A = this chain, B = another copy of it.
Amino acid sequence: MNNPEVSFETTSRTQIKRLPQRGDYDRETVYQILDEGLICQVGFVSEGQPFVIPTAYGRIDDRLYIHGSPASRMLRTLQKGIEVCVTVTLLDGLVLARSAFHHSMNYRSVVIFGTATLVETAEGKLLALEAFTEHIIRDRWSEVRPPTPQELAGTLVLSLPIQEASAKVRTGAPKDDEADYALPVWAGELPLKLVAGNAIADPQLSSDIPLPDYVQNYSRSCT
């Protein structure tokens, strides 16, 4: 029987139909992908029309947080309490097969279905924004000037339960048709990774402020 603390129950929406062997309903897998990603894609319907908006996010336990200005179409629409579909996709590499047909990509992705709700209290918003900032770059929150009451009031924060969720993962070498293995074509994986370059100080930064370790040694992989 399914233990909800360990894995998500599959529903008609989260059931992986195409290549079901790539599906993964473990909470740990879903959380790891969410924690490594930086951008989610929020899909919603407004007047029958699908919209997909990329945005940053944070996670606290089994809730995903997004935020924005009350002027944004996404936030204005979502606060009405409509269904959303949120995806996070990490691209891990190209899979180069001997046939065009079997080319693929290695990736880890998460899909979450649910209804987001407004975080109403200033305290709740502040916790979400802290998770949000720490998700993007750990150790940053305690250094920066915290939000003022006016800034908090001018920020909408939405919370989505991570309840109806699934991951899909492909790893490893290409899978070619048996006859194609004899072809003189290079085949294998080309790993891809999001890598940080050298930090660029704000032109107005005073030269006596050192680059923090957490910026210098920034790495996105959570493993």
Among A54, A72, A206, find the residue whose CB has the most chain B CB atoms closer than 10 A: A54
Task: Name the segment of A1-9, A22-30, A145-153 touching the other chain.
Answer: A145-153
In the bound complex, residues from chain B placing their C-beta under 8 Å from that of A198 are 191
Contacting pair B210 A144 (CB below 8 A): no
B192 and A96 form a contact (CB under 8 A): no
List chain B residues, Cβ under 8 A from A137: 94, 96, 190
Chain A: interface size category: 35 or more
Is B103 within 8 A of A18, CB to CB? no
Instruction: Name the residue of chain B whose CB is nearest to the CB of A136.
Output: B94
Q: Is the CB of A188 within 8 A of B173?
A: no
Tell me if A169 counts as interface (CB < 8 A to partner B): no
In the assembled complex, which residues on chain B have CB atoms less than 8 Å from the CB atom of A147? 99-101
Q: A98-B145, A144-B99 are in contact. Are A71 and B197 (CB under 8 A)?
A: no
The reply to whether A100 and B38 form a contact with Cβ atoms under 8 Å apart is: no
CB under 8 Å from chain B, chain A span 167-223: 173-174, 180-181, 183-206, 209-212, 215, 218, 220
A13 CB contacts on chain B under 8 angstroms:
49, 51
A64 at the interface (CB under 8 A from B): no
Number of identical protomers = 2
Write the chain B residue with the least CB distance to A145.
Answer: B99
* Chain B hits for A186, CB < 8 A: 143, 201, 205, 209-212, 215
Sample (27) of A-B pairs whose CB atoms are under 8 Å apart? A13-B51, A17-B71, A18-B68, A41-B52, A41-B87, A43-B43, A43-B52, A45-B45, A52-B86, A54-B87, A54-B109, A99-B145, A100-B129, A100-B145, A101-B155, A103-B136, A137-B190, A173-B204, A181-B204, A186-B210, A186-B215, A187-B205, A190-B196, A190-B199, A191-B198, A192-B196, A193-B197
A residues with CB within 8 A of B: 13, 17-18, 38-39, 41-45, 48-54, 56, 68-69, 71-73, 83-87, 89, 91, 93-94, 96-101, 103, 105, 107, 109, 111, 113, 129, 133, 136-137, 140-141, 143-148, 151, 155, 173-174, 180-181, 183-206, 209-212, 215, 218, 220
